């Protein structure tokens, strides 16, 4: 079992709709959780980080964390074609960051 | 200031040769990480340096892989006797400290082993 699991997609989302990405993790020692966006051929860039249970909102992005259920999600509201990318979920356990394989999101005009 | 930089940006080598990849972290960042990303795959943790502590080498795939870091500055990742399966993008990231801090990624080195 991988430490961090994500649905590989592709997740097809109409422009203007909400994209919902999910991630589960196995290490209960994980303390911080990250969502990175990676465009094809580019390096990952941080979208959100969250470390407390509940929701965290930043612009069109909302991260949700449930430590009891060991999942973290990312919502992208009003999806734009520029949101088309692979989204990587990462968990930090005492400094060691583990990533999922990523979910590819395709926003269709 | 400047972000994380890596060199070379691309490297083509022959099977069996050694390669050395370089990472310059953001100034003042004490933590430095190396990851490998094969085509279409997620990020694979390789090694982690934090200040002057012993590095966490638990992700290195074989003894052909090694990494060094001098203090809180430049790091080099060395792959000896390269194999075709070593072909990947090698990403370096740095963060201000150890736990829970945002990591900033470099542009990566694209390694192709023929």
Summarize pLDDT for B59-81 with one digit per residue, the tens.
899 999 999 998 888 999 999 99
Say if residues A97 and A1 touch (Cβ distance below 8 Å).
Answer: no
Q: Which residues from chain A sit within 8 angstroms of residue B9, using beta carbons?
A: none
Over residues B85-100, the mean pLDDT reads 85
Q: Is the pLDDT of residue B25 over 90?
A: yes
Q: By CA distance, what is A38's nearest residue in B?
A: B42
B99 touches chain A (CB under 8 A): yes
**Cα–Cα distance for residue pair B97/B65, rounded to 1 Å:** 25
Q: Say if CB A27 and CB A94 are below 8 A apart.
A: no
Concatenating the DSSP letter of every residue in A4-34 gives: EEE----EEEETTS-EEEEEEE--TT--EEE
β strands within chain B, DSSP E: 5-7, 10-13, 19-24, 31-37, 44-50, 65-69, 75-79, 88-95, 104-105, 109-113
Tell me the β-bridge partners of A38: A86
Residues of B in contact with A94 (CB under 8 A): 98-99
Average pLDDT, chain A: 91
């Amino acid at each position: 079992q991988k430490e961090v699991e994500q649905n590989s997609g592709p997740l097809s989302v109409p422009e203007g709709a909400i994209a919902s990405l999910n991630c589960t993790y196995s290490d209960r020692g994980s303390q911080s959780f990250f969502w990175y966006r990676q465009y094809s051929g580019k390096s990952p860039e941080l979208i959100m980080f969250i470390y407390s249970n509940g929701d965290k909102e930043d612009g069109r992005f909302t991260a949700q964390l449930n430590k009891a259920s060991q999942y973290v999600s990312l919502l992208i509201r009003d999806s734009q074609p520029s949101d088309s990318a692979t989204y990587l979920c990462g968990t930090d356990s005492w400094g060691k960051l583990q990533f999922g394989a990523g979910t590819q999101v395709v926003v269709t005009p | 200031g400047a972000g994380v930089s890596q060199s070379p940006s691309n490297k083509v080598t022959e099977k069996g040769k050694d390669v050395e990849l370089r990472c310059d972290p953001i100034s003042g960042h004490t933590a430095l990480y190396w990851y490998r990303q094969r085509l279409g795959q997620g990020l694979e943790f390789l090694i982690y340096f934090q200040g002057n502590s012993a590095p966490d080498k638990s992700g290195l795939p074989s003894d052909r892989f090694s990494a060094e870091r001098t203090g809180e500055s430049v790091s080099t990742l060395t792959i000896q006797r390269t194999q075709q399966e070593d072909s990947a993008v090698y990403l370096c990231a740095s963060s201000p400290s150890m736990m829970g801090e945002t990591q900033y990624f470099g542009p990566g080195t694209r390694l192709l082993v023929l």
